[in-house]
Amino acid sequence: CGRSRLQTTRRITHGTKTVAGEWPWTVAIAVTSRNSNSTYMICGGALLDRRTVLTAAHCLTDSEHFTLYLGKFHRLDRLDDRLVETRISSQLISHPEFDSVTYDNDIAMVKFVPDVRYTERIQPICLPTPRSTQTNLAPGQRGYVTGWGLTELQLPSDELLMAHLPVQSNQLCVEAYAKVNISLNLSNGMFCAGFPTGRTSTCRGDSGSPMVFYDRDTDQHTVEGLVSFGINGQCDLPDRYTVFTRVAHFMPWILRNWPR
């Protein structure tokens, strides 16, 4: 798990361009509009195995069925190649205590059939261990977030982008939100990341996307976070940190519900 066949060198606002296959566990989650019958991306997710995607629970509240794109790089379907696999969700497993107001327990799994075949563009991510989380989520440590969300032009990215964001302390994040009169309560299932300068951040459309950390010793990436929420309409301004779901906090729930 957690291995990319491409060397890691480096909607997301002011994000860095990626190469197809560089982040092979990234999944695009889409929904079909009832009015126009067109399919559009709403969130990201991380592939856990051949039939399961990890994402944010708030991504799954508006529909009962979702289209999943694995191995995807271009946002537009017409640019997809034969290496992109498409699946329809068969089961949605949201955390039973997800709070749509506070976004506490913002985690879910999506099951699909048939199983996907692993390729250079489709690979599973590693789940965290207590040791990995203690190291990776220390303030100042940097993780990679990928997504097709809004760019600095306020348009969805045409290609998968990556941001390399530092973890921030809960206190710093709470104080930053207080500056714009938002009372932020970070539970044990959350953490904060982003730049004080705001030069790079996640944005609308990046929800559910994984924040992964690279271990040079094992040459593996581990998912420690899922994009949960930020301050609406202020993606790349100073002190506008993103709040992530802390995956390690939910490992007991994941292991109980993971349909392996």
**Catalytic center residues:** 58, 106, 207
DSSP-assigned beta bridge partners for residue 111? 52, 91
Rounded distance between C-alpha atoms, residue 250 and residue 183, angstroms: 24
Structure tokens at 168: 């921030």
Tokens of 237: 């301004």
Nearest to 161 by CA among 7, 4, 14: 14
Q: Which of 64, 26, 68 is nearest to 227 (CA)?
A: 26
Q: For residues 133 and 36, give the distance between their C-alpha atoms in angstroms, rounded to a whole number.
A: 43
Query: Which tokens in the block code for residue 1?
Result: 């798990």
CA 122, CA 84: separation in Å to the nearest integer? 8
The bridge status of strand 190-193 relative to strand 108-113 is unpaired
Instruction: Report whether 6 contacts 130 (CB < 8 A).
Output: no
- Residue type at 146? T
